[in-house]
Amino acid sequence: MTLVLENPTARVKWLAAPSSVSWLEQANGLPELVLIDHAHCERKAAGVALQLMFRYPSDEGLGALLSPLAREELEHFELVLGLLQRRGMALRPLPAPVYGASLTAAVRKGEPERMLDSFLVAGLIEARSHERMALLAAHSPDPELRALYGELLASEARHFGLYWCLCEERFGREATVARLEELAAVEVEALSGELANPDAVRMHSVGVVLR
């Protein structure tokens, strides 16, 4: 299988390394598993947005951006859930890859560092989702999945842009870029290595090209 991964929509400045062809092949090998995981990702992304609003309840600017974000993530969840149901598939629980936990572990405990790190981690997850959805939108053998991922792409790009804005407004560009570089390295580390078995493929399972 020869693939060109330099899809322009997949090139995102947040990410320190691009996803590998192996990840794409593994994902295309078990598309329904990735779809179930994707539904969980949208549900969790809505949860993260709400969690941040609850953690900083008096920050109006934060609420103004995160409330519509949470709603949009839930709309995506419903969209994916609808497709699962049409295909007679249950939203069964899946063991999550270590990805999320590795990133959360890198969030510093004290404020305001915790806020910056939380925004950057949320943005990195969105950026990786966007990059991988762009690959699936271009290369999934299933036309319905290509259409679904294609439809979600534009909003995913807005999502990491939004987290970028929250960081820049509050912490300035220089501090944001410096910390982003560190966390982007953690993100790539979390995606490094070989997949243990095909059933472990997820939207955020291992598979990056290290330079």
| Binding stretches for Fe ion (CB under 5 A) | 45, 126, 156, 159
Residue of 143, 161, 129 whose CA lies nearest to 83: 143
Provide, rounded to whole angstroms, the least separation between the CB of residue 65 and Fe ion: 13
Q: Which is nearer to Fe ion, 126 or 131 (CB)?
A: 126
The residue sitting closest to Fe ion, measured at its beta carbon, is 159
For residue 163 the two structure tokens come to 């987290």
Q: Which is nearer to Fe ion, 126 or 187 (CB)?
A: 126
Provide, rounded to whole angstroms, the least separation between the CB of residue 74 and Fe ion: 11
Residue of 177, 206, 197, 156 whose CA lies nearest to 17: 206
Q: What 3-state class would DSSP assign to 32?
A: helix
Residue of 190, 168, 189 whose CA lies nearest to 179: 168
Q: Which is nearer to Fe ion, 45 or 80 (CB)?
A: 45
Say what angle helices 31-55 and 60-86 make with each other, to 10 degrees: 160
Provide, rounded to whole angstroms, the least separation between the CB of residue 157 and Fe ion: 9
Q: Which is nearer to Fe ion, 45 or 66 (CB)?
A: 45
Provide, rounded to whole angstroms, the least separation between the CB of residue 193 and Fe ion: 25
